[in-house]
Chains A and B, each alone.
Chain A
Amino acid sequence: KNQVEQSPQSLIILEGKNCTLQCNYTVSPFSNLRWYKQDTGRGPVSLTIMTFSENTKSNGRYTATLDADTKQSSLHITASQLSDSASYICVVSWDLSGTYKYIFGTGTRLKVLA
């Protein structure tokens, strides 16, 4: 069964600290993996998109890594800011005979404290 699991469920860190969020998936065949940031009350915003051949993708202070062999991805946030407080959602997709399928993780809620 195709699944996407994210950990931790929630995380509290102090401003300026780094943190790493995890995403494990069992989707096969795999097409691409996306990380989204969702502020409370807003729509998700794309952070990174990676295919199975990419190991690392950066977007400012956000760096996503992908290990297609172990089916694991991580999102590393460097020098956290108060504005990083949000939910981070991992989404895995695959192409099923020309139709794209998506599975969403339940997200990690990050709270950055001053």
Chain B
Amino acid sequence: DAGVIQSPRHEVTEMGQEVTLRCKPISGHDYLFWYRQTMMRGLELLIYFNNNVPIDDSGMPEDRFSAKMPNASFSTLKIQPSEPRDSAVYFCASSLGPGWGNTIYFGEGSWLTVV
């Protein structure tokens, strides 16, 4: 299995620019999660989808952030406009379900630096 695939792995952008992060979940997984990790705040869940439908987006920090899942094999997290405080590692993860019996598999992350 290829695992969860994220792109780009690293991105450096200027403040004000649009950033799009991409994710391909593990085939057959119905749940997709987007997380953000910083030194200050640790790991935070931003949003998660079930069968391509957003279930909980309460972790999305503000309107500059948006996430979509147009089909079962692709999701995007967009930041527009980006700000230096958005610099973080963004992880995508997928699972068969959020419950106790299901492992959540993480991608390798997209390292974002906004200057």
Contact = CB atoms under 8 A, between A and B. Distances in A.
A32 B55 CA distance: 19
A60 interface: no
A104 interface: yes
Interface stretch (A18-26, A72-80, A94-102): A94-102
Interface of B: 4, 42-45, 48, 55-56, 91, 93, 98-109
Contact of B99 (A32, A50, A89, A106): A32
Closest 9 CB pairs of A and B: A43-B106, A32-B100, A100-B98, A104-B43, A106-B42, A51-B100, A46-B103, A99-B56, A102-B45
A73 to B, nearest CB: 14
Contact of B103 (A49, A50, A100, A107): A49
A31 interface: yes
A42 interface: yes
A106 B91 CA distance: 16
A93 interface: yes
A101 B56 contact: yes
A87 B57 CA distance: 27
B24 to A, nearest CB: 14
Contact of B91 (A34, A43, A91, A93): A43
Contacts of A49: 100-103
A82 interface: no
B66 to A, nearest CB: 19
A34 B101 CA distance: 11
A90 to B, nearest CB: 11
Contacts of B109: 42-43
Contacts of A101: 56
A46 B105 CA distance: 7
Contacts of A105: 42
Contacts of A12: none
Given A32-B99, A91-B43, 20 more contacts: A31-B100, A34-B104, A42-B109, A43-B4, A43-B93, A43-B106, A44-B43, A44-B91, A45-B106, A46-B105, A51-B100, A89-B43, A99-B55, A100-B48, A100-B56, A100-B99, A102-B45, A104-B42, A104-B43, A107-B42
